[in-house]
């Protein structure tokens, strides 16, 4: 059971549920899997940016001046390699001026602990940073990634995942209670090899067609 005050938003939308089930389906081929991932990430990012601060700005239409709201801060997207790359295109299309960073983390299959093998981050201090990782399983890689972007100067950080396990959410709540999590589903649990149940298998393998 998750704490009542846990900052987790499960996107409740019929289209999100429809797309997620298609991702779960083992018969979905990689090309379609990539397309569905992009569409679902669009829905997740719309929810993840719902309460971003805005400022009022005035522009000239072809007929007269009009005032409206615009985002007050830049946006940074940081996909965790390699599976997080499947979520990046949707963010770039929604926010063409987004700054993009990359974090490479690999998991030790025996200990399930992550180690960082690559990091390239843009300026973060003046932006809202979104860490993208489709599978929030043990939470180890996500926690390490959040620690990296915070050390690099990120102030406002949010985690966006396609599917999350309670174990991973709990770890992030313990390690990074200031970070909101947006996901399409909070699944049941992890199995003995730290895969999410019911989950959707190895996201990176299914995304890039590298599964056996």
Query: Is 202 one of the catalytic residues?
Result: yes
Average pLDDT, the chain: 92
Q: Which residues contact 66 (CB under 8 A, 6 or more apart)?
A: 58, 59, 60
- Is residue 51 annotated as a catalytic residue, yes or no? no
Q: How confident is the model at residue 7 (pLDDT cuts 50, 70, 90)?
A: confident
Q: Which of 99, 107, 175, 180 is catalytic?
A: 107
Domain annotation for the chain: domains and CATH numbers? 8-52+72-208 (3.40.50.2020)
Residue of 89, 175, 180, 202 with catalytic role: 202
Predicted local distance difference test score (pLDDT) of residue 114 = 74
The answer on pLDDT for 91 being more than 90 is: yes
Tens of pLDDT, residue by residue over 150-197, are: 999 998 999 999 999 999 999 999 999 999 999 999 999 999 988 999
Residue 107 falls in the annotated catalytic set: yes
Selecting among 56, 58, 111, 193, the annotated active-site residue is 111
Q: Is 99 a catalytic residue?
A: no
Q: Within the chain, how many helices (H) and strands (E) appear? A: 6, 13
Residue 152 DSSP label: T
Determine the average pLDDT of the residues in 39-59: 96
């Amino acid at each position: 059971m998750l704490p009542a005050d846990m900052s987790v938003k499960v996107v409740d939308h019929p289209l999100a549920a429809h797309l997620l089930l298609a991702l779960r389906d083992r018969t979905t081929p990689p090309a379609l899997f990539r397309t569905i991932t992009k569409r679902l990430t669009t829905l997740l990012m719309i929810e993840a940016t719902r309460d971003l601060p805005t400022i009022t700005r005035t522009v000239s239409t072809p007929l007269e001046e009009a005032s409206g709201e615009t985002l007050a801060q830049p946006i940074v997207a940081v996909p965790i390699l390699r599976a997080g790359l499947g979520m990046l295109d949707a963010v770039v299309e929604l926010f063409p001026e987004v700054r993009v960073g990359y974090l490479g983390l690999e998991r030790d299959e025996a200990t399930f602990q992550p180690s960082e093998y690559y990091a390239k981050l843009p300026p973060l201090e003046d932006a809202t940073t979104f860490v993208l990782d489709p599978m929030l399983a043990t939470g180890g890689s996500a926690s390490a990634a959040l620690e990296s972007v915070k050390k690099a100067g990120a102030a406002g950080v949010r985690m966006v995942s396609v599917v999350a396990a309670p174990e991973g959410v709990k770890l992030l709540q313990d390690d990074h209670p200031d970070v909101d999590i947006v996901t399409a589903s909070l699944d049941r649990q992890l199995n003995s090899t730290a895969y999410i149940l019911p989950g959707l298998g190895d996201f990176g393998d299914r995304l890039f067609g590298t599964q056996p």
